[in-house]
Structure 1
Amino acid sequence: MSLRPQPPLPPVPDDTARVAQTAFRRGNPYLLLRTRLGTIFADAAFSDLYPTRGQPAYAPWRLALVTLLQFREGLSDRQAAEAVRARIDWKYLLALDLADPGFDLSVLCEFRGRLLQHEATGRLLTRILEAARDQGVLKARGRQRTDSTHVLAAVRDLNRVELLAETLRAALNAVAVLAPDWLRSLAPPEWHERYDRRIEDARLPQSGPKREAYVLQVGADGYHLLDALEGARTPPLATTLPAVAVLRRVWARHFTRERDGSPPAGAGVHLRPVQGRGPGDRVESPYDVEARFRAKSGTEWTGYMVHLTETCDPDLPRLVVHTDTTPANVHEAMRIGAIHAGLTSAGLAPGEHLADAAYVSAEHLVAAHEQYGIALIGPARPKQGWQTREEGAFDVTDFAVEWERQRVRCPEGHESTSWGAYKDRASGRAFIRAGFSPAVCRVCPAKPRCTRAESRRLSLHPRAEHEALAAARRRLESEEGWRLYGQRQGIEATISQGVRRFGLRQARYRGLAKTTLQSVATAAALNLDRLAAWFALRPLAPTRTSRFKALTA
């Protein structure tokens, strides 16, 4: 497929316009978008995705629009292709004649593949934001807010036994496609009994000894296949199959074996102790090796996290300006810097950024201000120590720090006697430790409110971080600051809309790259929906009021 020089984008055919305007006398979102934004996309924006020679490709500007409409309405490729042929509002937006036959559904998949291959998925959202900026409804250095939600991977949840057996089954299927004759001569008849069907459909042993024997047998079968793949007569490409690489990873994590002689099947193979499902390199499914397990706030899932950032300026539509998709086990605090960098590179860095405590730390407060000129607003993480939980106890904030003198003064007026700069061995973060004289603390009448040790020792952030953290806490202690931060809750409505109408929480595809494409396309489609509502002067829906509460209104 090639993209050749195209004539100017066509206007809406007269017959299409006449029928559409007759059918939608009271207005239609797609007709309104075409009137206000035109075609939105242009072929030139995707010219680098296509070669210069070959069969002419279907217009990519139309495919980009169809992709967004598809995500807006939750349609499959087949349903989207049928809508192009059958729906008058789609034909109007795409400037198609009434008799236009459309395209084959495979064209949409091929277009998404080009976006992924050239890492061009962000163009779908970028062009919508450019159109919004041209309309004067999007500005930089305004106010934005960020929150995240989980995305379920498009794979079945597997327990440990199912994971091991299904991983081996997936490798056998992959090798069977590439080298059927070689695998036919290798596989014993009992392998077909164990791995012909999906493991979830098999009747696995229930009792402890039988189940353990089954797992060890699976481990021995996997090692037998891996050893054979390393042999001299192995088909060259079989060892490089992705499913075989996954098999090696999974077996290295879950099994060990003894290599003395040739033991019978299952002998010499041992199952490693459970290593947990934390931030390690644990594969959760052989069919999506990038999906990870996470437990958060009582919710457990296997998949990804998506972070949405939207504008919240008064008297302007709420538009999603950035999406960030990661494996589920990547904490929010690790992404706030990437979010700020992405917004800045797009020319959409906010002046004020509202986020919850998961995104806020002393380091992030300083970095956001110094690197990007962004005021990160949100609650700091809870302070540690028994003093924060006991009323009347002296907290770190009760101590006065004199940075020039490198001294700390306690609430009773005593000065620290030691001051040193250190680095945490685990994280590498710098901190300052100040200590007080044991002789002074021992006789101090306020000691029970200050420390239970021989003397008080304080761990402080470096000066810039300490002062930024103190300022953030003071801001939220004021009524004005708390009212400002209260606007962050609006992002939860956006996430709810994305989940209920756009399927944001369920991955349609497998892999991080394709899930990222889904989140970007969903954000762009959501923006189309909100721009159409804004142009139609449709106000935001008010918060629901129950009939009983309405009696007192």
Structure 2
Amino acid sequence: MSLRLQSPLPPVPEDTARVAQIAFRRGNPYLLLRTRLGTIFADTEFADLYPARGQPAYAPWCLALVTLLQFREGLSDRQAAEAVRARIDWKYLLALDLTDPGFDYSVLCEFRGRLLQHEATGRLLARILDAARDQGVLKGHGRQRTDSTHVLAAVRDLNRIELLAETLRAALNAVAALVPDWLRRVVPSDWHERYDRRIEDARLPTTGLKREVYVLQVGADGCRLLDALDGADAPPLAVALPSVAVLRRVWARHFARAGDGSPLAGAGIRLRPVQGRGPGDRIESPYDVDARFRAKSGTDWTGYMVHLTETCDPDLPRLVVHTDTTPANVHEAMRTAAIHAALASSGLLPCEHLVDAAYVSAEHLVTARERHGIALIGPTRPNQSWQMREEDAFQVTDFAVDWERHRVRCPEGHESTSWGAYRDKASGRPFIRAGFKPAVCRLCPAKPRCTRAASRRLSLHPRAEHEALAAARQRQESEEGRRLYGQRKGIEATIAQGVRSFGLRRARYRGLAKTTLQSVATAAALNVDRLAAWLSLRPLAPTRTSRFKALTA
């Protein structure tokens, strides 16, 4: 398909405008958005997604708007296409005639495919933010806040046995669709008894020995298929199938060639122990290889994490300015720098960034300030030493550090005798270790409050990080700092709205790229809703008061 640019974009037809004004005398958010923001999108913003020749495509500015409306109202592609044909407010926003038949629902899927192919999903959110800038309700270098929530993958949870058998079954189905004659020659007839139906619909062995025999049989069958695909007569197209690549990864992680003559080790296959499995990342489902398992705060799930960053400046609407979607097993601390870099590239860096403890470290505090001029505000991670649990114990902050002389003075006035720079073996991060003379510590009357070892040894961050941590803890303990950080909890209301009204918690599609598109489109749709509320002067809904609580009012 090719793109025929429309310049200028068509106005709202007179009949559509007349009927819409009569139908919505009390106002409508879509009519207000069209009046105040115009078409929001333009065909020129998507021109690079289409070839120069071919059948004319449906106007991409319309498809982009329909995508946002679809996510705002939680509609499927069929329902969204039907809304374009049947709803007056949609026709008004899209500048369609009342008799316009709309388009086939498959056009929406094709449009999302173009966004994914050209890595252009961010344009949906970026254009909404540009429109907010034009209205003067979005400004850079303000105050922002970030938090994350879990997203459930659009696949069934599988235990280990189901994962192995279903992975093999998925590969067999993919090969059978491509080269059925070759597969018919390779596989024995008894495989149909094991892999014709979905594994969760089959009755798996329940006893330990029978289950072990079944798993080893599945492992042997998978190895046999892989050996056939590695043969000289294997079809190249079948060898290159993604499902075959997944089968190789899963088998390398869960199975090993035994070769020990064990009667249970069918075809020389041995199941690896649960702890210390083979190489490679953990795949949870053959149908979504990007989804990962994670347990956090009493919740465990298979899927992804989405990080939302929104503005929280006074007297301005709360707009989501960035989304970041990762597999579930990626910790929040690994995304702080990436979020700041993305905000910098879009010209939306905040002056103050409110986050929870998962996003904060000494390194993040320094990097955010020095690289982007951001004051990263959030609780620092607590020290797990026993001194933190004892009320009168000496903590690290009670020691005075002389960085020029490379000395540390304890609360009793004794100076350290050793100072060395080291790197953590696991993370590679630098740290400083200062130690005191054991003879001095042994005679010190305050030793029970200081250390239980022969002498106190302090592990310090480098100077910039040490001072940044100290400043962050001092701000956290002040009344002004607590009031400032109290504004962070507002992002939880945004996440709740995204989960309850926009379907943010459950992935519509499979794969990280498509789930990222969903989170971006959801954020853009959320902004559309909030801009409509702001332009119509609709205040934020107050917190509900129970009838019983009202008795005391």
Distance of 1:434 and 1:425 partners within structure 2: 18
Matches within 5 A, 1:108-507: 108-258=108-258, 266-275=266-275, 281-507=281-507
Whether the 8 Å CA contact 2:253–2:277 is kept in 1: the answer is: no
Q: Distance in 1 between matches of 2:284 and 2:236?
A: 28
Deviates more, 1:393-402 or 1:250-259: 250-259
**Are residue 107 (structure 1) and residue 107 (structure 2) matched?**
yes
The answer to whether structure 1 residue 69 and structure 2 residue 48 are counterparts is no
Tell me the TM-score normalized by structure 2. 0.98
CA shift in 2, pair 1:278/1:421, >3 Å: farther
State whether structure 2 residue 4 is matched by structure 1 residue 4: yes
Q: Secondary structure at the match of 1:189?
A: coil
Q: Residue type of the partner of 1:402? A: D
CA contact (8 A) 1:154 1:510 kept: yes
Change (3 A) 1:265 1:447: closer
Task: Give the secondary-structure state (helix, strand or coil) at the position aligned to 1:237.
Answer: helix
2: distance between equivalents of 1:276 and 1:54?
Answer: 54
1:138 counterpart SS class: coil
Hey, what's the Cα distance between the residues in 1 that align with 2:503 and 2:225? 40
Structure 2 equivalent of residue 29 of structure 1: 29
Q: 1:110 and 1:279 mapped to 2: Cα distance?
A: 37
Counterpart in the other structure of 1:52? 52
Structure 1 match to 2:548: 548
Tell me how far apart the structure 1 counterparts of residues 386 and 107 of structure 2 sit (CA, whole Å).
62
Of stretches 329-338 and 277-286 in structure 1, the one that deviates more from structure 2 is: 277-286
Q: C-alpha distance in 2, partners of 1:276/1:538?
A: 56
Partner residue, 2:78: 78
Q: What's 1:96 paired with?
A: 96
> How far 1:158 sits from its partner (Å)?
0.1
Q: How big is each residue's C-alpha offset from its partner over 1:475-511, in whole Å with a ceiling of 9 and x where there is no partner? A: 0100011000000000000000000000001000000
Q: CA–CA distance in 2 between the matches of 1:264 and 1:481?
A: 64
Deviation at 1:447, TM superposition (A): 0.1
Write the letter of the residue equivalent to 2:444. Answer: C
What is the number of equivalent residue pairs in this alignment?
553
Which shifted more, 273-282 or 106-115? 273-282
Distance 2:225 2:10 in 1: 58
CA distance in 2, matches of 1:532, 1:191: 58
Contact 1:278 1:293 in 2 (8 A): no
253-262 or 527-536, larger mean C-alpha shift: 253-262
Shift of 1:280: 6.5
> In 2, Cα distance between the equivalents of 1:402 and 1:272?
53
Deviations, residues 48-67 of structure 1 (Å, cap 9, x unaligned):
00011110000000000000
Work out the CA distance in 1 between the residues paired with 2:534 and 2:276: 48
CA displacement 1:380-423 (0-9 Å, x = unmatched): 00112100001100000110111111110000010000111111
| 1:275, distance to aligned residue in structure 2 (A) | 3.0
Superposed displacement of residue 281, structure 1: 0.6
Shift of 1:237: 1.1
CA contact (8 A) 1:277 1:293 kept: no
Q: 2 CA distance for matches of 1:261 and 1:370?
A: 62
Q: What CA distance in whole angstroms lies between the structure 1 residues aligned with 2:437 and 2:10?
A: 82
In the alignment, the residues of structure 1 paired with residue 515 and residue 310 of structure 2 have an alpha-carbon distance, to the nearest angstrom, of 19
Give the alignment's Cα RMSD to 1 decimal: 1.5
Letter paired with 1:325: T
1:336 and 1:260 mapped to 2: Cα distance? 49
User: Structure 2 vs 1, CA of residues 339 and 277 (structure 1 numbering), >3 Å: closer, same or farther?
Assistant: farther
CA 278–15 in structure 1, closer or farther in 2 if over 3 Å, else same: farther
Q: Among the aligned pairs, what percent are the same residue?
A: 86
User: 1:174–1:145: structure 2 CA closer, same or farther, 3 Å change rule?
Assistant: same
> SS where residue 303 of structure 1 aligns?
strand
Q: Give the SS at the match of 1:273.
A: coil
- Between the aligned partners of 1:18 and 1:360, the Cα distance in structure 2 is 55
Letter of the 2:473 partner, please give it.
R
Q: Is the 8 A contact 2:325 2:519 kept in 1?
A: yes
Cα offset, 1:543, TM superposition: 1.5
Q: CA separation of 1:277/1:137 partners in 2, compared to 1, >3 Å: closer, same or farther? A: farther
Asked if the contact 2:249/2:280 (under 8 Å) is kept, the reply is: no
- What SS does the corresponding residue of 2:124 show, helix, strand or coil? helix
Taking the aligned partners of 1:228 and 1:528, their CA distance within structure 2 comes to: 54
The answer as to 2:34 corresponding to 1:14 is: no
Measured in 2, the distance between the counterparts of 1:238 and 1:347 equals 46
Give TM-score scaled by structure 1 length: 0.98
Q: Which deviates more from structure 2 when the two are superposed, residues 233-242 or residues 303-312?
A: 233-242
C-alpha displacement of 1:267: 4.2
Alpha-carbon distance in 1 for matches of 2:519, 2:340: 18
Q: CA separation in 1, counterparts of 2:278 and 2:469?
A: 29
- Residues 308 and 324 of structure 1 are in contact (CA less than 8 Å); yes or no, is this contact kept in structure 2? yes
In structure 1, how many angstroms separate the alpha carbons of the residues matched to 2:262 and 2:204?
Answer: 27
AA aligned opposite 1:303: G
